[in-house]
Structure 1
């Protein structure tokens, strides 16, 4: 294999640039030409493809976002769009592709692999919702962003003696909410995988109030429901002043942590090694701090699970 491509797809995640850097420099180390595809699979269809060199990835390891940009493509979900992508790869002589993103990105990589173009996936999403890996690129940075925000909100909650509901990202996975809630001592954590009853939350708040607790923090993953609706219900049932903060896209940005930079570098380099060794339709991952490889098809079929022992611990510590 003499020419490979790389693209980022779906939502951006801190550490994607570090992964791009690792892929580009690892490829060049092995005397392989590397082509960057901008704007994800849509950019592949539209031929936004440029050759990259060592200088292309200079001074990006510390930057958030992705220098290749990202976009979701409805065109690529259809066979004709996928075929157009194959034609563009052929035109540039690209023999293999590395895709950085989440499950939607992996589905695109799987389609290309089925059409004869070997692809390797690198998990990059702040939701940490990909099976087969303990952590995805971007999760640690987003988690620390959330914790920093909660720390600041807690100061205000304490000053005004109020309950705050903080909504974090996570439509189908509660990792961000769970880890942030445990790290910041939240009174309640609401995640899609384990929904608390409203009365249980209210009872916990009342117990805290009875022993003199003046403020509380509740972390809610967006997939559970509307934070403002929960705030209204809590106020109705407990008579506690409740405020809402929706952190939104601030969670995706920022300079990646050391953990994300190292993870991205390791996974990026491994992805190149897999392509050059003839692998296709695989995903790089990390489990118990060891690099692992899984079939993308199997990863897409398997449901990501959270550590329920952490959820139980959070309840025990927030009595």
Structure 2
């Protein structure tokens, strides 16, 4: 194999640039040309493809977002869209593709592999919701962004003796909420994977207030519901002054942590190794600090789960 491509797709995550850098430099080290596909699968269909050199990925390891840009592309879900992408790959002589993104990106990689183009998926998403890997690229950075916000909000909550509801990202996965809530000492954590009892939440707040506690922090994953609406319910049920902070897309940005830079570098380079061996339909990950790869179909068929023991611990420590 003498020419491969790399693209980023779906939501951006800190560390994607480090992964792109690793793919390009690992490939060039092995005398393989690398072409960057800009704007994800939409750019693939439109032929937004350029050759990348060593200097093309210089000075990006510390930058958030993605140099290759990203976009959603419903058209690529169709056979017609996939055929257009394949035509562009053939036109540029690309023999294999590294796809950096989440489960939607993996589905595109699976389709291309079925059409005869070996693809390897690299898990890039802040939600940490890809099975087969302990961590995804960007999760650690997003987690630290949330923790920093919680610490700052707690200062205000303490000063004004208020209850604060903080809504974090996680439509289908509660990892950001669970990890940040445990690290930030939240009194209550609500995640999509676990049903909550409003009476229990209210009882916790009242118990704390009765023993002299002046403020509380509640972390709500967006997949559970609106933090604003939940804050209204809390105030009505407890009569405690309640404020709501929705962190939103601030969680996606920022310079990646050292952990995410190293993780992205390792996974990006490992993906190139698999591609150069002609292996397609695979996705890479890290488990117990060891690099692993799985059949992409197996991963797409599996459901992400949170660590229930961590959730239980958060309950025990927030009595």
Deviations 1:164-204 (CA, angstroms, capped at 9, x unpaired): 00000000000000000000100000000012211110000
1:133 deviation in Å? 0.3
2:100 paired with 1:100: yes
Instruction: Spell out the pairing of 1:289-308 with structure 2 (5 A cutoff).
Output: 289-308=289-308
Counterpart in the other structure of 2:209: 209
Tell me, what secondary structure is at the counterpart of 1:89?
A: helix
Counterpart in the other structure of 1:79: 79
Provide the rounded CA distance (Å) in 1 between the counterparts of 2:113 and 2:278: 12
Structure 1 stretches of 4+ with a deviation exceeding 3 A read: none
Gaps spanning 5+ residues in structure 1: where? none
2:9 paired with 1:33: no
2:285 paired with 1:285: yes
2:31 paired with 1:5: no
1:236 deviation in Å? 1.2
1:75 deviation in Å? 1.1
Counterpart in the other structure of 2:127: 127
Aligned pairs, number: 319
Provide the rounded CA distance (Å) in 2 between the counterparts of 1:173 and 1:66: 23
2:315 paired with 1:315: yes
Tell me, what secondary structure is at the counterpart of 1:55?
A: helix
Tell me, what secondary structure is at the counterpart of 1:24?
A: helix
Gaps spanning 5+ residues in structure 2: where? none
Tell me, what secondary structure is at the counterpart of 2:171?
A: coil
Aligned alpha-carbon RMSD (Å): 0.5
Counterpart in the other structure of 1:117: 117
2:250 paired with 1:265: no
Provide the rounded CA distance (Å) in 1 between the counterparts of 2:228 and 2:126: 23
Provide the rounded CA distance (Å) in 2 between the counterparts of 1:243 and 1:200: 20
2:16 paired with 1:42: no
2:64 paired with 1:64: yes
Q: TM-score, normalised by structure 1?
A: 1.00
Q: TM-score, normalised by structure 2?
A: 1.00
Counterpart in the other structure of 1:187: 187
Provide the rounded CA distance (Å) in 1 between the counterparts of 2:74 and 2:313: 42
Provide the rounded CA distance (Å) in 2 between the counterparts of 1:228 and 1:63: 32
